[in-house]
């Protein structure tokens, strides 16, 4: 029961008793009765005024309570003319004004933070209290090659993939660099923030691919240039001396001349081989800028397949052409892309099983070409090192082919990946539209 209702009941009860006494006084003393009626009338007026004052105060307080319940911080209470109540109303209005200011400030900060997260080039993943993804920005969704709606309310384990596996192993406040397939590198950092008094986790993902690539390129360019300079200068002088020594074979006994010439020729040939090795390394450094024009990729692939046919026949490999178009045009350097296809097909033939299959596939809608082979596949350990300078999985390999392939595709701004999916090891190239 509300307090003003109780006051009303008390007033009614008191006046009911007063009226009862007046009825008894009516027969005993008429003068006292009329005086009592006047007093009763005045009492009614005073009670009505008192009730109105109390009711207005209580209504004002109730209105303020409802405003707080509705979280409407824009409404203000009007003073009612009672000093004590007006002082309370003044304090209430100040509190509401402060709350409205704090709410507006919080909304602006929240809006700014939301827009900042959305526009951030770094991937940001925010988890709820159960460890499920509650928010993800477009950059992070793009890294996982998924739409934001497809990952919400899921755990990292449900998303799948190498990057998600690495992120699940991140400790709180830990940062590490994750290398995927030897191509893309990400700096991942796990941290927490406080929400409603409880700790929630978030992860930031920053792509370092271009920075690491430039650092690697600058490093091996300096090494190769220094080695090439020293080796070629030494080889030229040594071969000159060795050729001069050949002129002295006649001064030896006839039975020693053949061994003498064989030793010198072997040394000269070995020096030529070393010079050729340095030339191969130098090719990676001196890859020219692509001279682009419109080329047809399917016919280019067919010509490269004919070139590699002999190596495939030795392993009795089958060719599987899975083409959704017969004409696939691109704006690129024909000679450089031909070298890329040669390197990819050479590696595919070497990695394929005996009697295996080489598959060439196009997806024109996705502007994608892939070259796949059956075989043992690429382990996670090897996958992290692919495309690293001078790394090779073949015996006596120099690791130049994939380096050169990466250099050419980067210069063309083509996206690419090399990974094992099921029974297929696939080199995929995504070709963007023509640059204006």
In this structure, the answer to whether residues 147 and 167 fall within a common structural domain is: yes
Whether 113 is covered by a domain: the verdict is no
Whether 115 is covered by a domain: the verdict is no
In this structure, the answer to whether residues 92 and 150 fall within a common structural domain is: no
Structural domain boundaries enclosing 60: 3-107
- Measured in degrees and rounded to the nearest 5, phi and psi for residue 73 equal -95, 15
Selection from 81, 77, 101 nearest residue 89 by Cα = 77
In this structure, the answer to whether residues 375 and 392 fall within a common structural domain is: yes
- Classify burial at 183, counting beta carbons within 10 Å of its beta carbon; exposed 0-12, middle 13-18, buried 19 or more: buried
Q: Are 370 and 428 in contact (CB under 8 A)?
A: yes
Whether 112 is covered by a domain: the verdict is no
Strand order in the sheet with 175-180: 133-136, 123-127, 198-207, 184-195, 175-180
In this structure, the answer to whether residues 423 and 318 fall within a common structural domain is: yes
The per-residue pLDDT of the chain, averaged, comes to: 81
In this structure, the answer to whether residues 7 and 55 fall within a common structural domain is: yes
> Which helix (H) or strand (E) covers residue 126, if one does?
strand 123-127
CATH number, domain of 162, equals: 3.30.450.20
In this structure, the answer to whether residues 33 and 160 fall within a common structural domain is: no
Selection from 134, 149, 141, 145 nearest residue 118 by Cα = 141
Biggest CA–CA distance in the chain, Å, is 171
**Which one is predicted more confidently, 363 or 159?**
363
Please state which of the ranges 122-131, 171-180, 252-261, 338-347 shows the lowest mean pLDDT. 252-261
In this structure, the answer to whether residues 402 and 315 fall within a common structural domain is: yes
How many degrees, rounded to 5, is the angle at CA 289 between CA 277 and CA 276?
A: 10
Domain total of the chain = 4
Per-residue pLDDT tens for 61-118? 777 777 777 777 777 777 777 777 778 778 878 888 888 888 888 888 878 888 888 8
What gap in Å lies between CA 269 and CA 325, rounded to an integer?
48
Per-residue pLDDT tens for 413-436? 898 888 888 889 999 999 886 554
Tokens standing for 372?
Answer: 């796949």
Tokens standing for 175?
Answer: 């940062």
Per-residue pLDDT tens for 216-234? 666 666 766 666 766 777 7
The CA-atom distances, in angstroms, between 254 and each of 5, 192, 245, 250, 266 are: 136, 84, 16, 8, 19
pLDDT > 90: percent of the chain: 17
State yes or no: pLDDT of 16 exceeds 60: yes
pLDDT recorded at residue 299: 93
pLDDT recorded at residue 217: 66
Whether 233 is covered by a domain: the verdict is yes
In this structure, the answer to whether residues 225 and 170 fall within a common structural domain is: no
What gap in Å lies between CA 62 and CA 50, rounded to an integer?
18
pLDDT recorded at residue 374: 92
Give the position of tokens 């050169």: 404
Averaged pLDDT, 264-287: 72
The pTM of this model reads 0.52
In this structure, the answer to whether residues 350 and 418 fall within a common structural domain is: yes
pLDDT recorded at residue 436: 42
Q: Which of 128-132, 290-294, 370-374 has the highest mean pLDDT?
A: 370-374
Averaged pLDDT, 155-167: 85
Q: Which long-range contacts (CB under 8 A, 24 or more apart) does 223-232 make?
A: 224/278, 224/281, 224/282, 224/284, 224/285, 225/282, 225/285, 227/278, 227/281, 228/278, 228/281, 228/282, 231/274, 231/275, 231/278, 232/275, 232/278
Taking each helix axis as running N to C, give the angle between helix 254-285 and helix 400-411, from 0 to 180 degrees, rounded to the nearest 10: 30
State yes or no: pLDDT of 398 exceeds 80: no
CATH number, domain of 401, equals: 3.30.565.10
State yes or no: pLDDT of 396 exceeds 60: no
**Which one is predicted more confidently, 131 or 28?**
131
In this structure, the answer to whether residues 25 and 83 fall within a common structural domain is: yes
pLDDT > 70: percent of the chain: 85
Averaged pLDDT, 315-324: 92
State yes or no: pLDDT of 252 exceeds 80: no
Please state which of the ranges 29-38, 161-170, 274-283 shows the lowest mean pLDDT. 274-283
Look at the alpha carbons of 71, 75, 78, 84 in this order and tell me if their dihedral is positive or negative.
Answer: positive
In this structure, the answer to whether residues 203 and 219 fall within a common structural domain is: no
pLDDT recorded at residue 349: 92
What gap in Å lies between CA 212 and CA 206, rounded to an integer?
12
Whether 435 is covered by a domain: the verdict is no
pLDDT recorded at residue 112: 83
pLDDT tier at 372, thresholds 50, 70, 90: very high
State yes or no: pLDDT of 165 exceeds 80: yes
The CA-atom distances, in angstroms, between 349 and each of 88, 285, 309, 360, 387 are: 87, 26, 10, 12, 18
DSSP secondary structure letter of residue 393: S
Which residues are within 8 A (CB) of 31 and not within 5 positions of it... i.e. 6 or more apart? Answer: none
How many degrees, rounded to 5, is the angle at CA 375 between CA 370 and CA 378?
A: 75
Per-residue pLDDT tens for 18-50? 787 777 777 777 777 788 778 888 888 888 887
Considering 227, 255, 285, which residue would you say is the last residue of a domain?
285
In this structure, the answer to whether residues 247 and 140 fall within a common structural domain is: no
Considering 51, 77, 107, which residue would you say is the last residue of a domain?
107
């Amino acid at each position: 029961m509300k307090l003003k209702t109780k006051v009303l009941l008390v007033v009614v009860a008191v006046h009911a008793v007063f009226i009862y006494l007046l009825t008894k006084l009516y027969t005993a003393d008429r003068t006292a009765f009329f005086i009592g009626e006047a007093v009763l009338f005045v009492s009614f007026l005073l009670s009505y005024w008192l009730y109105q004052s109390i009711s207005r105060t209580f209504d004002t307080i109730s209105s303020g309570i409802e405003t707080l319940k509705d979280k409407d911080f824009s409404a203000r209470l009007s003073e009612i003319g009672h000093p004590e109540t007006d002082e309370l109303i003044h304090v209430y209005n100040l509190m509401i004004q402060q709350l409205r200011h704090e709410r507006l400030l919080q909304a602006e900060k929240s809006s700014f933070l939301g827009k900042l997260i959305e526009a951030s080039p770094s991937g940001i993943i925010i988890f709820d209290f159960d460890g499920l993804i509650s928010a993800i920005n477009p950059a992070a969704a793009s890294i996982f090659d998924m739409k934001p709606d497809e990952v919400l309310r899921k755990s990292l384990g449900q998303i799948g993939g190498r990057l998600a596996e690495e992120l699940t192993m991140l400790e709180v406040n830990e940062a590490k660099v994750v290398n995927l397939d030897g191509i893309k590198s990400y700096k991942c950092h796990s941290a927490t923030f406080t929400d409603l008094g409880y700790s929630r986790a978030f992860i930031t993902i920053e792509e370092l691919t271009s920075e690491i690539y430039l650092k690697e390129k600058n490093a091996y360019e300096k090494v190769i240039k220094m080695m090439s300079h020293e080796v070629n200068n030494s080889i030229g002088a040594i071969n000159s001396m060795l050729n001069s020594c050949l002129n002295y074979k006649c001064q030896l006994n006839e039975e020693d001349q053949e061994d003498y010439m064989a030793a010198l020729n072997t040394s000269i040939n070995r020096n030529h081989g070393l010079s050729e090795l340095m030339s191969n390394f130098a090719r990676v450094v001196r890859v020219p800028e692509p001279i682009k024009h419109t080329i047809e990729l399917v016919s280019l692939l067919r010509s490269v397949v004919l070139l590699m046919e002999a190596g495939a026949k030795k392993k009795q490999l089958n060719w599987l052409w899975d083409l959704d178009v017969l004409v696939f045009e691109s704006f690129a350097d024909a000679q450089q892309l031909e070298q890329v296809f040669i390197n990819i097909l050479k590696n595919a033939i070497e990695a394929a099983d005996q009697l295996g299959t080489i598959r060439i596939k196009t997806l024109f809608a996705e502007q994608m070409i892939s070259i796949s082979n059956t075989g043992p596949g690429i382990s996670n350990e090897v996958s992290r090192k692919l495309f690293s300078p001078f790394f090779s999985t073949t015996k006596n390999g120099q690791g130049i082919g994939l380096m050169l392939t990466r250099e050419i595709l980067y210069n063309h701004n083509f996206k690419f990946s090399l990974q094992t999916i099921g029974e297929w090891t696939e080199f995929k190239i995504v070709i963007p539209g023509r640059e204006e």
